[in-house]
Structure 1
Amino acid sequence: MDEQELQATLFSMLPTPAYIFGALLFGIIGFAAYRYGKKMEQTKCKWLGIALMLYPYLTGSDTRWLYATGTILCAALYIYRNE
């Protein structure tokens, strides 16, 4: 394998800037939700915060799945915020 093929292979494995931004955004929201749930003793909020922090590791590098799952988890967090 020559150097250009190696660089192309390595570049294709890197996440896009949109993926990195989404992972950081949902991670920060998850951390805030976890802290809020811990402070207010709300178990659902705490677990949704943990899910928001960890799910980007499970989505691979597909940006669409990252944003779709993050949006669903944020909606669940909004629904269960006062329970």
Structure 2
Amino acid sequence: MATYIFDYPPEFVTLLDYTAHAGQPVTVVRPLRHRGDDAEFDFEGEAMFLVRAADGWEGQAWAGELRRPAVQSQNSH
């Protein structure tokens, strides 16, 4: 499972759990289904995923809200 930083937009303030996890690392659990009778979201041209934070919180994130963490390089002196 891949780990990303959850970039939840700061102007979205109605979902307090989402706001509380903004900027935190999350693991992508699985992509959400957007087709069929068991669709989990309305497809608007962007994929959506079920994500999980280290504290156990789970939420849904658009692909654009997930960014790869910066790679830290090790300097050998």
TM-score by length of 2: 0.30
Indicate the structure (1 or 2) with the bigger Cα radius of gyration. 1
TM-score by length of 1: 0.28
Which of the two has greater helix per residue? 1
Which of the two has greater strand per residue? 2
